[in-house]
Amino acid sequence: MTRYTAKALPRQPGVSGWVAMLPDRRPRPALLGAVTADVAIIGAGFAGLAAARRLSQLDPTLQVAVLEAGIVGGGPAGRNSGFIIDLPHEVSAESLGSDSATHARRDIFKNRTAIALAQGMAEEHGWGPEVFSLSGRYSIARGAAGDHHLADYAKQLEGLGEAHRLLDAEETARLTGTRSFSSALFTPGTAMIQPADFVRRFADALRDPVTVFEQSPVLSIERQGSGWQVTTKAGTVAAGRVVLAVNGHARSFGLLPRKLMHVFTYASLTKPFDPALLGGERNWAATPALPMGTTIRRLSGPEGDRILVRSRYTYNPSITVSDAALASAGRVHDRKLASRFPDLAGLPMQYRWAGAMALTWNSVPVVDEVDQGLWLAAGCNGVGATNATANGIVAAERALGHLSQLGQHYAEAAPARAIPPEPVATIGGKAALRWKEWRAGDE
């Protein structure tokens, strides 16, 4: 009898500011007793919720049970920086040849498919811009190397026919309220979300015959006849098909050995400050000009404005983060805040947290049928909100035997390559992260 048993349950380091800024959630009831469903989805993050939505679009009569280990929004989705990005994420100095242009266009199609699903939910349920906003994003530079990359990327976007606007130092200062940045590149197609609020509302918007169970960690997935039995602490789901949408936590079930690299990234959020202390616009979001640099968001709210700083990456094959690692990243964030916003000198951080990512060696997603009727959605590869949503869409389609254009693109992609055995993987992973962060410098 085939049985996949969870060797560990997810643990979330630190306090996500996105969650802390929201009212306390009244969670959906936990799974109690035995229920049946056509499809069981494990995980109510971006991938799991997208899968539930897509299943309902393809067949509104399907009975779907969504099982969340904790409270919706408390996992990695609610620790995201809130960018659903439409364009290739990394700025590259390489020119776009025909093969890379084709790859870029496929990437853009995938990303915009994810955004369309999220936007459809937001528009259908009337969520305001504080939850979902198609407001675009900036890539922002702090020196000559970043300036060069942004200018080169702008040329690539021109070749792809994608809208964009370069900002010089003066325009960037008017945007940010500080002269600490040297240039910026604006692209209008990124959706910005309050990630914890977004996934909460998404889960609550799913209606019968889709049922969301919170505080229902899955302990095992076991073959039962032609289907599966999913067991939690207090109940079971008998389902013909299962979508395991837990990204790197799939390893805890013994799946994808040597296919996923487990990385954590870190964020801090300041206490509210009087917006008069800092000029510029009060709501903007910027990813770094160089990969592995620093992401910045300025958020306005009723208590004042806040700055979010995200940087630092660690390789964590145990899928856990120590308090010392969180504190160390926080000290880096404090220095980055002070150097970028001298007008806010002394402003303390209120919340610090880490969020898990799962990367594949060759940066491809893993959306596979790992056993008959058991589908896996994993490998967000660092652009979590976008890629996880797309992975969930494709997993749902494949579970129903539906082949879309997006699914065709996934089918034509190379398989995930095996990572080296231990201890080489950990030694190499840590060294690669340190080198990439060094290369990003102060960006």
pLDDT tens for residues 407-424? 999 999 999 999 988 888
Is 397 found in the same domain as 286? no
Is 387 found in the same domain as 270? no
- Looking at residue 96, its pLDDT comes to 41
Given a cut of 60, whether residue 286 has pLDDT beyond it is yes
Residue range 84-135, pLDDT digits in tens: 999 986 544 344 445 678 888 999 999 999 999 999 999 999 999 999 999 9
Is 337 found in the same domain as 273? yes
- The Cα 365–Cα 43 span in angstroms is 17
CATH number at residue 63: 3.50.50.60
Share above pLDDT 70 across residues of the chain, in percent, rounded to a whole number = 97
Least confident of 85-89, 300-304, 365-369: 85-89
Q: Is residue 355, in this structure, part of any structural domain at all?
A: yes
Domain range holding 334? 133-192+262-360+432-440
CATH number at residue 151: 3.30.9.10
From 188, 166, 170, 187, select the one nearest 179 (Cα to Cα). 170
List helix spans (H) across 312-440: 323-340, 384-399, 405-412, 424-440
Domain count, the chain: 2
- Looking at residue 89, its pLDDT comes to 62
Cα angle: 353, vertex 290, 272; to 5 degrees: 40
- The Cα 1–Cα 364 span in angstroms is 31
Is 314 found in the same domain as 254? no
- Looking at residue 338, its pLDDT comes to 97
Question: Could you tell me the pLDDT band of residue 393, with boundaries at 50, 70 and 90?
Answer: very high
Is 55 found in the same domain as 152? no
Residue 125's φ and ψ, nearest 5 degrees, are -110, 5
More reliable by pLDDT, 273 or 99: 273
Q: Is residue 61, in this structure, part of any structural domain at all?
A: yes
Q: Is residue 368, in this structure, part of any structural domain at all?
A: yes
Residue 142's φ and ψ, nearest 5 degrees, are -120, 10
Is 366 found in the same domain as 355? no
- Looking at residue 88, its pLDDT comes to 84
Residue range 311-344, pLDDT digits in tens: 999 999 999 999 999 999 999 999 999 999 999 9
More reliable by pLDDT, 272 or 160: 272
Q: What is the model's pTM?
A: 0.95
- Looking at residue 438, its pLDDT comes to 83
